[in-house]
Amino acid sequence: MTPELFDTATCYGRSMKSHAAARNDIGDVAELYACAALGMDRQRIDGRKKVCIDAMWGGRPVEIKSVGKNGRGLIYKWRMDKDAQEHGDSLVYVFVRHDCPITLTNSAEVVARFIERPPSLIVTSIARVREALKGVKLRKFSMFEGGKDSRIGYNRPGYSEGGWQFGLSLLTSETFARIGFTWAGVQLTANMHFTP
């Protein structure tokens, strides 16, 4: 990660007024963290692209997923289909396993929590994820029973088709490496699990 990425850390003083805002900010911090830990190049959102990936790593596209205290990942079917169509089997998934509560009220607290308790990383391929999800039931998600408002995320086209919620144990290998890296000006050590 280049130093200038964390020069924008002042934005992490913003308050989080809802659980949805907290999830978004935790995910944003997780992307910065994963990029620093693995030496990936974080990608900017570009509306001209069919699929916006989170990072590039050694020429490979990466999707970064934040997974909280319940240890359950979430992947939407339409997004996995789009990723597979655009990138094939070259796509890498990085799951950032943290214990940040969504009750935090300020994004700076998320950064502090990641420093105090460095999240582990699970690195795997899209092929491995697809294989693991074969035994997981596809679910439709809805924030409100019978909701139709397309401005609400779960009701938007694509998202409304559903996805998979699954325990990270499906992807976490028993062997791991301890990796050291600098993030937010602090030297950290974290566990990295890798499943091909």
pLDDT at 186 over 90: yes
What pTM was computed for the model? Answer: 0.86
35-40 LR contacts (CB < 8 Å, sep 24+): 35/1, 35/5, 35/64, 36/1, 36/181, 36/182, 36/183, 37/121, 37/179, 37/181, 37/183, 37/188, 37/190, 37/192, 38/94, 38/121, 38/123, 38/179, 38/192, 39/1, 39/181, 40/1, 40/94
Task: Say how many residues make up the chain.
Answer: 196
- C-alpha–C-alpha distance, residues 140 and 94, integer Å: 24
pLDDT tens for each residue of 125-148:
999 999 999 999 998 876 444 556
Q: What is the pLDDT of residue 180?
A: 97
What are the extents of the domains in the chain? 3-128+166-195
pLDDT tens for each residue of 86-116:
999 999 999 999 999 888 878 888 999 999 9
pLDDT at 5 over 50: no
- How far, in Å, are 2, 154, 186 from residue 146 at the CA level? 45, 11, 47
pLDDT tens for each residue of 26-78:
999 999 999 999 999 999 876 666 778 999 999 999 999 999 999 999 999 98
Q: What is the pLDDT of residue 149?
A: 57
Percent of all residues in the chain with a pLDDT value above 70, rounded to a whole number: 79
Q: What is the pLDDT of residue 162?
A: 87
More confident residue, 71 or 7: 71
E strands, 34-137, where? 41-42, 55-57, 60-67, 72-76, 92-97, 120-125
